Structure 1
């Protein structure tokens, strides 16, 4: 009998437990309410996750539905998570207040534009409600007043369009611990009435329009662990009282107008792990002891002076320190924390030698950037002990001596920048042991000897720049085997011999100028069909200019000046800048006089399109139809187009009208569009990825047709249907600063604009609005492959539109991450990290936009005389009192107000073109900073 009980007891327990589970059910009114909620979802949402609706039909108990979380016995609903449900109506919110046991509600990442008043009155009485998340919707209007919500601890309204001031709307929230209102349009001063019991632990107000000073009253929230006030318009100094927040862990004040000194009281906060106050106007010296407990400190882009405190780098927790772009002087302290993995001290006035003794112990250091200072002495061999280094930037200093062979021990190194120093001697062959190296720049030193024959061992190298040295001998034949190479700069040396076969994927530039090469231009260059810039000037090349150069369809700049070339100059497209001066035996075509040095073609084209769509596939070539505005501000002269025999129009596989506009639908004729594309004389503009044609429709209306280039290199093989679906999504975008598709066709084939400041500023605002719109879409960001002033169309002088948006949906991610030619963009606009990350990013778009800003500010093109505008500006922006020299004087001199605004915009541009992607602001923040410059 006893044995039976031993076996029976577990069986009885299991049976009773099962009986309890099946007998516990939601109350019928809650079941009905949930059914009603999901019916609202189904009738008022976009193409959301199909499994949501499948769950409703499959399970009768809502506790089994997607997004519904019940108590352990399924008797009550505790949590609702409707994130990413594509909900566009707020009707479902009020019924949710009938669940008295609700503890958490998450409706983030949807398309809600409002919240009904009934929600606040109904849900405010739910005693256990602790979390509300409305982030990443389309909410506008003012912040609602919260009445009730006695137990609410977490409130998130970030990434919406809420506006107005925050006064007492949140003061009644007794239990509030986390508040996130970042990325909205709030104005006024920083609120301090944030809960009666002052329990707040996290306050996130970044990326708004808050102004005034940081209120000292904020310290009454003694439990604060996180304060994020970055990307606003705050002014004044940091209150010393912040040092009384004994639990503070993170303090973010980046990108404001704060000034004064860094308060020494922060050194007393033993819990403070991260402090970022970059891109402000702080001055004075850095207080000693501030890194005693910090793990990360960022004070870059300020006006800090004096020397670096001797204890600043030695904090036991310190892992990341960024003091770049200040006015610091003196030497680098010798005592450095062994936990440091990132050290950025570039663009200061530091001098002295590198602290060799400390370098050998920095075994975790991954990023060392000391560029643009006045450091002297040799490069310590101890650097070879920093084997985790991925980026070493010592450019633009006064370093001397031989390059140590120990550099070859840094096997993790991916970027090595040693340019603009005074190094001598030969390039040590050990450098070629760095097989992860992707960017190598030793230009403008005094290196001699030959290029190491083992250079081909660098099989991941994308950028090689050795120009401006005293290198001799031939270019190693093996260089042609570096398939990853995209840019090769060997100008201003004494190289000679035969030009070897170059890597076929060279794209950004091949510069062999100012050397001793002779003989005919080698036919092997004809393989470089992706090359954009070819500079063979100031050599001894002879013979005719080969015809194949005119067939290199990617070329935008060809420099052949000061050689011994002869014969008839081939005909080049109007979009190629060709310089052949200094070749006395050349014969110019009758239609073209001897060329003067060409200015950059007008970049901000205003033949403007209202809508554009483009894309291509390996099996097909997409044509884009776009409205063509009759009024012209800057038009390429059709008479200068080269006369070329018309080819047969490509055969149409599929054409589709995306626009609902009846006028466009009746006007657009695909056959006429194809005929226009077949005639090169219709070319109006050519960018890195697209060629624009003018097409006259039978109705007499002119349209742009945009054809994508590189169809066999960047576009994935896929079905026509899938491809059309992606374009239709783009066609539904609605923003006045983004060109959207009107139509597309698949076929079987595969100078600068001078404007006043008001117009330039309007262009900057409009483009930033378009980019912010593309980057902040709820369904995912749209990233641009080729953002440049050439891809910006002007609907009017103050209404720009961003083009090339269609490319984002048809890039093969696998190819774009492994092949730089798919993402490089236009020369001068390419972010430095693209050379080694090989992928398009939002931060990369921000960099390219920063270059556009610099063009607008300086009146200079992105590349001029072989020098990139960004590098010129950064080298001249070291001292802020000389920023006036950067601006276009013809514009800045018009008034003090214009000058002041241009200087404010220059600060934004410098932030955008920061060498570190992590330091660049997001586009939404860039827009806010530009608007604050008004």
Structure 2
């Protein structure tokens, strides 16, 4: 052996030194092993990815996965990022590694605080603990003098960041501490001394005041991000010296003034975002940005013409200019050179034609040019733009016929041509628009028939073709649109009978056929539409009797006036609220509404008998259909669980097997049914209660298909199946206020998700469906639910390795355990934000009516603030006890507009609070209602982050404000009303 020593003779000095070094190295290596085993012990409970599988006693640390050693075989680097680890990180242990130069633990779920022991890691050159859930203050960093790479962003740090300690970190080249809740402070001047910096990420750091001069001296800077702060004043003039910049992010601040002279020197810029500020002046300085890929300048005060040079940007992919004061035409060559993706130019004063070649390379997804003065027609080139998902050009001066191919674009989700002068027909190609959800054509000159092929566009949720010149019959097969929520056909010349198939649109909320020439009888089956809230059939040629089944509906609007209806007005509809609903129908009679002739007894009896027989027949038919489909469903359920190829994927330690689960999926355990599948409550052998969600695979035509078919469908459409979306999201989440996913069980025919069972149902159930006074939630419980749910969403947005946008936050997706502690649930619509940052978007309108943020209908630029809006609606539910949509709010009104309209009329906000809340606690409910108003600001930038919402709710705890009273004139009411005024005046 190389190290064997002959001890039978006297050792000389060099040999003694060699032996000492051997034992020293062996001792240090042994110490490194013990340190790593302690680290494993702290974190292995959460090791679902087997990161520590190779970490074993007796093995060399240099052979551990994620461990790298130097030439002397001492631990030099720990790389355990994105391993789904949680638990407290023992810095006192880690810093015993005397040769440690790099510690990388980013994108996990680690918690706890950074202790002062970090100062002992004196040889660290790189430290990355970003995107975890560390809390508390960041300790002094002065002793880490060799540090050149520091990432702390995306945690929950508070207090003051130790900016002063940066003076001792002169080697620092990469500094990223954003997305934390540090105390508000001015821009740290210490940063200006870090001459080697090439990346500075201070987004969402609570910085205020001006960006200082001297920033331009950091000439190595390539990536500068200062967004989401409280920065004011002008962009510093010496920023023009940062000629190596390839990314500059300044959005969501309060910057003003013009671009500094020479700003065009930043000719290496690829990504520039200065949106949502108060910048002004023209865009001439930007004409030199030849390499720009993404240019985001929306929601500012820019004016003047768009430089013609923008049309020569050969790398430009995304351009957002909406909500400015820009004039003149768009450069006609814009988007002609690159894989252009989208243009957002809405709400300006732009004129001239739509540039024709933006989809030249077949990659464009969105044309958003609402509220301008564009003229001409839609260029024929866009008829072949198969990548297009949104076409919104409403409220311009466009004219001519729409190219036929536009109607049938295979990926289009939203066609909005309203308030122009378009003419011609909607062609049969619309049947090919399988992903179309919204069709808005109102206030144009379209004519001809509405083609029956529209029923093949089965994703349609909203149709508005009102105030046009359409004629002919309403398509008889319109009932094939199973997802239809609103149908506006008013003020055309439609004729023929009302389609009986409308009764098959079970989700429809609004039907408006006013001002047409529709004849025949009103279908009695309309009375069985469970969601119908508004029915306007006025000014038509309808005849016969008013169906008694309309009494089953809870309508906020019913208008049957100016028709040819005859017979008895059903007694249940004969009330003050419907007094004007039946005007100008000379043949109608009523026993209890003034101004109508009294019905004769014989006609009264005949009418009642007719209504009874009609209702009985309809009920029998519906009952037979229900039994038929239930039996069919049961057979499908049983057949789906006969597969032998089950695969179970566990995300937590399990005390049950897939066989136990499968045996218990039966009808008597069914507790819920939904559009995506059934939910069962099962009790396994250990006594553990579980909720099992059986997700159906649905094809584009509404049929259930097996797993392999679904995979092919989704591959063609480019979408992630709901099952895979929920698994991908929930499997990596660990939080007390997010529902636990134990495992998934899959076969070719069935997809099962196994959750914890929450015995108290959903918040919706407890708020809106409880019958006795004793079953209502008291205020203390409501408060705890609000706080817990907010913490769950805060974790999704800020605590995961990548932010998770839920996209369907609502009270029915907040489940309650046996102690009424809340859990965020149902992630079928969730979107995990990509780690490369940028502006996060969702290209499909998703969510639930009443909770959907207004930007969903305006732009695909949807981010975490959309969840904040939806959560604000939940807070309003908790405070008022009302549903998001109520008949008393009025047509097309929701709880947000209701609250704001009452405040705008000077109503006392206390009067809006749920009457079941005791008077002594109503003031605290008002606090929650105010937070809800802040969360539902029209502009996403005005909404707080969920982390801020948690802080506001904690500050509104009743015990902290027991002696505070509401003062109606102290300015706070005015502030809330002001927010509402902004909301009402915004488009």
Quickly name the TM-score band, shorter chain normalised: 0.5 to 0.7
Q: CA deviation at 1:908?
A: 8.2
Q: CA deviation at 1:927?
A: 8.3
Match for residue 521 of structure 1?
522
Is the counterpart of residue 775 in structure 1 residue 797 in structure 2?
yes
Is the counterpart of residue 216 in structure 1 residue 198 in structure 2?
no
- 2:268 and 2:235 map into 1 onto residues whose CA distance is 18
Contact 1:783 1:808 in 2 (8 A): no
Match for residue 849 of structure 2?
826
Q: CA deviation at 1:811?
A: 8.7
Instruction: Kindly report which structure 2 residues correspond to 1:284-683, keeping only aligned pairs within 5 A, or say none.
Output: 284-290=281-287, 291-338=289-336, 339=338, 340-350=340-350, 352-355=351-354, 358=357, 361=360, 363-384=362-383, 386-408=385-407, 410-483=409-482, 485-500=484-499, 501-502=501-502, 504=504, 506-514=506-514, 515-525=516-526, 528-529=529-530, 531-538=531-538, 539=540, 540=542, 542-547=544-549, 550=552, 557=556, 559-562=558-561, 564=565, 567=568, 569=570, 581-582=581-582, 585=589
State the secondary structure of the residue aligned to 1:775.
helix
Higher mean Cα deviation, 723-732 or 129-138?
Answer: 723-732
- 1:200 and 1:223 map into 2 onto residues whose CA distance is 6
- 1:532 and 1:779 map into 2 onto residues whose CA distance is 42
Match for residue 240 of structure 2?
243
Out of 742, 745, 760, the position equivalent to 1:744 is 760
Is the counterpart of residue 279 in structure 1 residue 279 in structure 2?
no
Contact 1:48 1:84 in 2 (8 A): yes
After superposition, what is the alpha-carbon deviation per residue over 1:190-210, rounded to whole angstroms, capped at 9, x for unaligned? 224238551111111111210
Match for residue 671 of structure 1?
none
The 1:387/1:773 distance shift into structure 2, 3 A limit, reads closer
Q: CA deviation at 1:368?
A: 1.1
After superposition, what is the alpha-carbon deviation per residue over 1:309-361, rounded to whole angstroms, capped at 9, x for unaligned? 232343222221111011222332333241232111001122x3314565685
- 2:235 and 2:932 map into 1 onto residues whose CA distance is 21
State the secondary structure of the residue aligned to 1:185.
coil
State the secondary structure of the residue aligned to 2:453.
helix
Contact 2:524 2:549 in 1 (8 A): no
- 2:896 and 2:319 map into 1 onto residues whose CA distance is 23
Match for residue 649 of structure 2?
none
Contact 1:375 1:398 in 2 (8 A): yes
Contact 1:853 1:909 in 2 (8 A): no
Number of positions where the alignment pairs a residue of Structure 1 with one of Structure 2: 734
After superposition, what is the alpha-carbon deviation per residue over 1:293-318, rounded to whole angstroms, capped at 9, x for unaligned? 32211110112222222323432222
After superposition, what is the alpha-carbon deviation per residue over 1:663-707, rounded to whole angstroms, capped at 9, x for unaligned? xxxxxxxxxxxxxxxxxxxxxxxxxxxxxxxxxxxxxxxxxxxx9
- 1:398 and 1:892 map into 2 onto residues whose CA distance is 44
The 1:826/1:72 distance shift into structure 2, 3 A limit, reads farther
The 1:146/1:427 distance shift into structure 2, 3 A limit, reads same
Q: CA deviation at 1:726?
A: 10
Q: CA deviation at 1:469?
A: 2.2
Instruction: Kindly report which structure 2 residues correspond to 1:83-122, keeping only aligned pairs within 5 A, or say none.
Output: 84=83, 86-106=85-105, 108-120=107-119, 122=120
- Give the TM-score taking structure 2 as reference length: 0.62
After superposition, what is the alpha-carbon deviation per residue over 1:627-674, rounded to whole angstroms, capped at 9, x for unaligned? xxxxxxxxxxxxxxxxxxxxxxxxxxxxxxxxxxxxxxxxxxxxxxxx
Q: CA deviation at 1:372?
A: 1.3
The 1:399/1:285 distance shift into structure 2, 3 A limit, reads same
The 1:561/1:192 distance shift into structure 2, 3 A limit, reads farther
State the secondary structure of the residue aligned to 2:502.
coil
The 1:845/1:533 distance shift into structure 2, 3 A limit, reads farther
Is the counterpart of residue 81 in structure 1 residue 80 in structure 2?
yes
- 1:511 and 1:362 map into 2 onto residues whose CA distance is 41
The 1:140/1:108 distance shift into structure 2, 3 A limit, reads farther
The 1:831/1:742 distance shift into structure 2, 3 A limit, reads same
- 1:166 and 1:843 map into 2 onto residues whose CA distance is 29
Q: Which has the higher contact order (CA 8 A, sep 6+)?
A: 1
Higher mean Cα deviation, 23-32 or 79-88?
Answer: 23-32
Match for residue 171 of structure 2?
175
- Give the TM-score taking structure 1 as reference length: 0.66
Match for residue 10 of structure 1?
none
The 1:38/1:244 distance shift into structure 2, 3 A limit, reads same
Match for residue 18 of structure 2?
none
State the secondary structure of the residue aligned to 1:376.
strand
Out of 221, 225, 238, the position equivalent to 2:222 is 225
- 1:458 and 1:742 map into 2 onto residues whose CA distance is 38
After superposition, what is the alpha-carbon deviation per residue over 1:69-107, rounded to whole angstroms, capped at 9, x for unaligned? 446996645324265564433435434432415433325
The gaps in structure 2 that reach 5 residues or longer are: 1-21, 594-632, 635-669, 694-729, 739-755, 769-784, 832-842, 910-929, 956-971, 977-987
CA RMSD of aligned residues (A): 5.5
State the secondary structure of the residue aligned to 2:477.
helix
- 2:49 and 2:359 map into 1 onto residues whose CA distance is 57
- 1:717 and 1:810 map into 2 onto residues whose CA distance is 17
Contact 2:681 2:757 in 1 (8 A): no
After superposition, what is the alpha-carbon deviation per residue over 1:408-443, rounded to whole angstroms, capped at 9, x for unaligned? 575543321101222233323344444443432212
